[in-house]
Structure 1
Amino acid sequence: MSSANAFYPIGTPGVPWGEAEKAEWLARQVRHRSYAEDVLARVDALRQRFDVEQYGQLDYAGERYPLYAIRNRGWRDGLPTVLVTGGVHGYETSGVHGALQFVERHGGDYEGRANLLVVPCVSPWAYERIHRWNMHAIDPNRSFRENSPAGESAALLQLVAPLRGRFVLHIDLHETTDSDESEFRPALAARDGKPFEPGEIPDGFYLVDDSENPQPAFQQAVIAAVEPVTHIAPADANGQIIGSEVVAPGVIRYPLQALGLCAGITGARYTTTTEVYPDSPRATPQQCNDAQVAAVRAAIGFALAHPAG
């Protein structure tokens, strides 16, 4: 197909959306699940063992979404600091639930060894609507930059800013889903007035390294830890995953900061974005959560064993 209009019902082919098209898009969004029940209740249950802080709030058309971060206790300036983020894209479910599962089961393991900061759901409005964008049709994961147009991104940047220079690791938990190809990429093309060019969804788990700061041994340690939990995505016929060269099994690279991606916000030596494939017939929702947890634990283990020189 030559245009996004063949796939997406909003807008005129070749013409970027204006306010009317964005309003039409917003009117189509439906709440499917509850941030309060699925996320905030689990965060509240962690307060006895961890420090929970509200770092911001989104106010969307009268709906208020408090934003929370979880810290392990016993923070010390001399310890390496680790950031785990999930739900930057709200529809990527295992990013949120994997982050929470990690804290619930393993968050206490690092007390006295690392300062652990976990933000399990960066984009709660999108989590409820199982969407990639926020209510303004903005992708938070292309918006981590100064004067960000996305409230989700701006709030996280403000949380992280005082700690820049202290992070040894940032792992950002994501999914690549079939709906990327059926809904979200066509919507992006329509929004921006560009033609939609069909792609291929990889079947399996993969990582996105930073092309400006590649850490191949670190990435491979994470892949090795995840492989017993869920299968690793193979390269396609062109030696690529989602249009990027596969530089090692299950690893591609992006310029994280230049693209405004979440994994580029800390300046940490070790950074990665996980990509779980929840639509595979070979993976259950629990396997997806477990894969995220395995990735986080392996990433922290490697970073603590190989501190910056």
Structure 2
Amino acid sequence: MAPAVVASILPLCVCLLLVPGIGQADKLLVVPVDGSHWLSMRSVVEKLIQRGHELVVVVPEVSWQLGQSLNCTVKRYATSHTLEDLNREFKDFANTQWKMKESGLFGFLMGSSKNVFELIFSHGRSLFKDKNLVEFIKQSSFDAVLTDSFDMTGLIVAKYFSLPSVVFTKAVLCHYLEEATQSPYPLSYVPRAFGVFSDAMTFEERVWNHFIHWQERLLGPYFFKTALETAAEVLQKPVTLYDLFSHTSIWLLRTDFVLDYPKPVMPNMVFVGGTNCHQRKPLSKVSVVFWSSLEQHLF
């Protein structure tokens, strides 16, 4: 089957699997990420529950909103930090980003705000320290893992238990999405995320785009160092970021094909549109009589 045909029917297949009565209800392990990531994923989780799928959501004890008011099983594991630690580090992160708006990739990955990411990346180690939870996951015979790739915890869980994984995300830092999916990303035509270029770059801008890409290759492994160390401990062998990201079965990308510049994609990369924090509301209805009356006063 031609790749174009596969790409066109894959979203339909995913939708059909989620429709009650068409396929058998699945047992899904959900490993979400806190903050705005969860606000986006929660609507999907709630819809899966409504459609008869059995979900177990695994979350850290310390979080802002994870797992609250869900009509499904929620399992919590202890963390090495408190809510006060999380609030303090996130506040420092936000203040740093406001002060370093033009710092680009280096400032984002290597700035003084990196501590908040260390707390987030520690979730994987905390989860696997809970032996009862690990045994529960092992005995539960889940069909797949639904996760957000940002803190890497869900990717490590899927790899450890050899489960198919569906990643629901807006973007992936650095170049790992393209490499994990073996999707071409021509640097002369597709701007990198932390650049300021359009899709019509001059020669000088193309050179800088290559430079940004090499920054990603140099800084990415250092930024994800804690997550990689956790993965190596859990899997009992050296692990690369490619090993973790390439295990993903389906990427549900919370964006649009043309929003971040058209580029080659693979059949397992499904664009689901701008699913954000709240359900959209219809525009308020404006009376034609009102507009007629307004026109008479203005013109």
> TM (normalized to structure 1)?
0.29
Q: Which has the higher strand share?
A: 1
Largest Rg, 1 or 2 = 2
> TM (normalized to structure 2)?
0.30
Of structures 1 and 2, the one with the larger relative CO (CA 8 A, separation 6+) is: 1
